[in-house]
Chain A
């Protein structure tokens, strides 16, 4: 038993130190590309930390959204930045870029900001150590009401029943981010004309697999780890893969059909909320007998919308404008 707990400590200590080290290097190493790769590695290690903290649902979300999508987003943004540089730059651009990537505020400012941050770290550490060692969370309240929630995975029950209102607003945040990006009117990049047979094959093989996994996660979410966000982001990753392989949405679908897909999750959520309001006098109050069906409908539409939004976030520019310019 003693050896076992020592091993646990070693593993957790290694993960903790690894996280701090990766974060430190990602934030302070001179080259930006290296920083991004380190950040992706950070996300992957974070997944292991979530697993160690007994939160497989979070691990799934982190791996699907955090590692998969954020990594691809960062890499592609970095590449676009460099393209801007290359377009305007002459011979010295490489040197300039490296300088701008490392640029920080004046050294005096480093000390000025390090002091309060250190104080904050000490204060926060003290505050956390002062907490009573017994968690006073809501696990019993959730467990007592789980039967009436329509699902048996407590995390899904919280997300789609007990605190479904948060989830509604959160899907609104996703949609808002996309509308905000579209209103920036970024020119689409005209690159990656070449088609790679191996990449094509990979995309052809992985896309159906991603579809299957997404459906599986959606289905399994009711009683084990998984759910709309995980499923949606895996499906969204399929979209990202297709975009990377050079595939584009046909223009006929890029207008209203795409927009409807983007909003169907949020709209269904609102519609259900209003229906429940009319029926039971309370926003989003699902009758326990039909709760599992309602949650399934909500999750399915949410998965579709989340996937479409994430893929569109990755694309950046509005797909119905991209061919015209």
Chain B
């Protein structure tokens, strides 16, 4: 069972790595930020799985705070950092 969890963790991490392409590609600021959000959700899943492997409930708390605070960062992005007109668009 433990092996299975770890395989799943590895899979999710690879998934995450693939998602990072979007940060690099952009093209809009929202795309980059969205990928960071993906990071949030996936990392929560990874933390929960690792918590199961190691038998520590402390990791549930970490996951919980993780979910809470990545929301704060995203709000900071929407409210503060993203205020100019977008000129870059997806190429057709």
Contacts of A45 in B (CB 8 A): 39, 43
**Category for how many chain A residues contact B:** 35 or more
Nearest B residue to A72 by beta-carbon distance?
A: B76
B23, B40, B68, B84 pick with most chain A CB within 10 angstroms? B68
- Judge whether A206 is part of the interface by a CB distance below 8 angstroms: yes
A64 to B, closest residue via Cβ: B65
Residues of A within 8 A of B43 (CB): 44-45, 47-48
B46-87 contacts to A, CB under 8 A, are 46-47, 50, 54, 56-59, 61-62, 64-66, 68-73, 75-81, 83-84
Once A14-B17, A33-B32, A67-B70 are accepted as A-B contacts, the answer to whether A8 and B65 lie under 8 Å apart by CB is no
Are the CB atoms of B72 and A241 closer together than 8 Å? yes
Please determine whether A237 and B23 come into contact, CB atoms closer than 8 angstroms: no
B residues in contact with A41, CB < 8 Å: 20, 23, 35-36, 39
Q: Which residue of B lies closest to A18 (CB)?
A: B17
Contact between chains at B32 and A234 (CB < 8 Å): no
Is A259 an interface residue, CB under 8 A from the partner?
no
CB of A321 within 8 Å of the partner chain:
no
* Option from A34, A56, A202, A237 in Cβ contact (under 8 Å) with B56: A56
Measured between beta carbons, the chain B residues less than 8 angstroms from A78 are 81
Question: With A44-B39, A51-B59, A224-B58 known to touch, is A11 a contact of B73 (CB < 8 Å)?
Answer: no
Q: Is the Cβ of B65 less than 8 Å from the Cβ of A71?
A: no
The 8 Å CB contact of A56, one of B6, B24, B62, is B62
Which residues in A have their C-beta under 8 angstroms from that of B69? 63-64, 67-68, 234, 237
Residue of A37, A68, A191, A206 with most chain B CB atoms under a 10 A cut-off = A37
Q: CB-defined interface of A301-320 with B at 8 Å, one 1/0 digit per residue?
A: 00000000000000000000
Q: In the assembled complex, which residues on chain A have CB atoms less than 8 Å from the CB atom of B80?
A: 75-76, 79, 191-192, 244
Stretch in A115-123, A170-178, A209-217, A285-293 touching the partner: A209-217
Q: Does A37 contact B23, Cβ atoms closer than 8 Å?
A: yes
CB distance from B80 to the nearest CB of A (A): 4
A83: chain B residues within 8 A (beta carbon): 83
How far is A34 from B36 in the complex, measured between Cα atoms in Å?
A: 11
The answer to whether A60 and B62 touch (CB under 8 A), given A4-B6, A34-B26, is yes
Q: Is the CB of A240 within 8 A of B76?
A: yes
Residue of A nearest to B50 (CB): A51
Interface residues of A in 76-98 (CB under 8 A from B): 76, 78-79, 82-83, 86
The reply to whether A76 and B32 form a contact with Cβ atoms under 8 Å apart is: no
B91 proximal to A (CB < 8 A): no
Whether A44 contacts B72 by the Cβ 8 Å rule is: no
Which residues of B lie under 8 Å from residue A82 when comparing CB positions?
83-84
Mask: chain A, 43-54; 1 = CB below 8 Å from B; 0 = not: 011011001101
Q: Does A7 contact B (CB under 8 A)?
A: yes
Residue of A nearest to B4 (CB): A7
Instruction: Select the residue from A79, A216, A226 with max chain B CB neighbours within 10 A.
Output: A79
Q: What are 30 A-B pairs with beta-carbon distances under 8 A?
A: A7-B3, A11-B9, A14-B10, A14-B14, A25-B24, A33-B81, A34-B32, A37-B36, A40-B73, A44-B36, A44-B40, A47-B62, A48-B43, A48-B46, A48-B47, A48-B50, A52-B50, A56-B58, A60-B58, A60-B61, A63-B69, A68-B68, A79-B81, A86-B84, A206-B72, A210-B68, A213-B68, A224-B61, A225-B58, A225-B61
